[in-house]
Amino acid sequence: MNEKLEQSRNIVKEYMWWSTGAGLMPIPVLDVATVTGVQLRMVSKLSEHYNISFSKDKAGAIMASLAGSISASTISKGVLASAVKTIPILGSLTAPFLMPTFSGAVTYALGMVFIQHFESGGTLLDFDPEKTREYFRLQFQEVIKETSSTQK
């Protein structure tokens, strides 16, 4: 693996962990906003790493489109993971497992998709989320599967 690609993957791993930590935030909605901010910062860093002009609006639209490609049931788990924090006792028992895992997995998958696109010479302006949806889903599922197997 070339050095640039390895550095890119390290950026994604760093922000995946930041995103996972942000998922632990006890305040619903604020956790989602914080995770989104972490993801935008990751895309900004990857853009900088590949000398690509960064646009917060364009990156945000791409991220939303890709996240929307996850099945409705999976997205509802992410929303539920944030909302369950409001339930006394149950929230404090389950939130440390649900939202951080979901946040980290989405962040990792987003990062890997952007790496793949930037490695092939793409920019934010020519990014077509439709072409990367399947790769995004596979990366997301890989992390969820890996996390599930380590929690058993």
Per-residue pLDDT, 79:
46
Per-residue pLDDT, 150:
65
C-alpha atoms less than 13 angstroms from C-alpha of 142 in its C-beta half-sphere:
11
Per-residue pLDDT, 78:
45
Domain ranges for the chain, please list them.
3-151
Buried b (16+ CB within 10 A) or exposed e, 113-131: bbbebbeeebbbeebebee
Alpha-carbon distance 36 to 43, whole Å? Answer: 11
pTM over 0.85: no
| pLDDT, one tens digit for every residue, the chain (152 residues) | 699 999 999 999 999 999 999 988 777 778 888 999 999 999 999 999 999 999 999 999 999 999 877 744 444 444 444 555 554 544 455 555 567 888 899 999 999 999 999 999 999 999 999 999 999 999 998 988 887 666 55
Per-residue pLDDT, 70:
72
Answer for the pair 20, 97: CB distance below 8 angstroms, yes or no. no
